[in-house]
Amino acid sequence: MSEMGIRERVTNILLLLYLIERSSTKGKVEDELKLQKLVFLSQKELVERRLKAFSYNFFRWKKGPFSKHLRMDLNILIESHFLSSRYGKIELTQRGKDLLNDCENLLTENKQFLRFIDNVVSNFSGKSPEEIKDFVYDLQVIVPRIRQIMTIRDVPPRQLILFKTSDRKARAIFNLDPSWLATLELSFDKDAMTSLERAVDDALEGRVHEYTIRDNST
């Protein structure tokens, strides 16, 4: 993975922790269906302003926008005990909270990005997964490959509907200096990232794999 790819991946995972923690103060994240939509809405707000923070590619899947790399990052955080997923709720463990506390200054330096995530959390974290799904279905997007404006509900399956902003086109990029990058990359375990990426690919393509991905929420 290139340095840019590692930076994007580490930033995604850190912001995923941040979004889930902020959501716990306004409501809760019941399942992956809701999490996928909260991240999609946050990234859409950022992309429209040419701000690069979340860097996922979202496709039209069974129940709306879906990113396989977001699923992988969620599983990395659960397997690494930064998150727990039980009793109908995804939330930070003490280890996850400690990591966010350690990153407080880093997050403060990047508050121009966080305010858009905070707005989405304030507006949607108290809603049910189905309510958010219905809202997202009615949003209009420009479908990149066919260059048409469509509601997400009408976009054909597997079409790309939101892609990450390139560094070249971004007006501003989430600032992650080399020392933070190295620290967080070790925390999130690059080997686990690679292993889980293969597992997610296998699950989505219907191949048998020893790692079981929960696939009932998107």
User: Tell me, what's the pLDDT at 96?
Assistant: 94
Checking 91-99 for CB contacts under 8 A at 24+ apart, the result is: 91/20, 91/24, 91/28, 91/29, 92/17, 92/20, 92/21, 92/24, 96/17, 96/21, 97/21, 99/17, 99/187
Mean pLDDT of 182-189: 79
Mean pLDDT of 67-88: 90
Average pLDDT, the chain: 86
How many domains in the chain? 1
User: Tell me, what's the pLDDT at 188?
Assistant: 79
Most confident of 169-173, 175-179, 180-184, 208-212: 169-173
**Per-residue model confidence as pLDDT tens digits over 137-156:** 999 998 887 888 999 999 99
Q: How confident is the model at residue 87 (pLDDT cuts 50, 70, 90)?
A: confident
Is residue 214 in some structural domain?
Answer: no
175 has pLDDT over 50: yes
Is residue 158 in some structural domain?
Answer: yes
Is residue 217 in some structural domain?
Answer: no
**Per-residue model confidence as pLDDT tens digits over 40-56:** 999 999 999 999 999 99
Report the amino acid identity of residue 92.
L
Share of the chain above pLDDT 70, in %: 84
Is residue 79 in some structural domain?
Answer: yes
Is residue 216 in some structural domain?
Answer: no
**What does the radius of gyration of the chain's CA atoms come to, in whole angstroms?**
16
Is residue 131 in some structural domain?
Answer: yes
User: Tell me, what's the pLDDT at 145?
Assistant: 76
User: Tell me, what's the pLDDT at 190?
Assistant: 53
Is residue 73 in some structural domain?
Answer: yes
Is residue 215 in some structural domain?
Answer: no
Segments forming the whole domain that contains residue 134 = 3-204
Q: How confident is the model at residue 177 (pLDDT cuts 50, 70, 90)?
A: confident
User: Tell me, what's the pLDDT at 5?
Assistant: 84
34 has pLDDT over 60: yes
Residue 111: CB partners within 8 Å, gap ≥ 6? none
Report the amino acid identity of residue 49.
R
User: Tell me, what's the pLDDT at 206?
Assistant: 60
Residue 78: CB partners within 8 Å, gap ≥ 6? 84, 85
Its pTM stands at 0.84
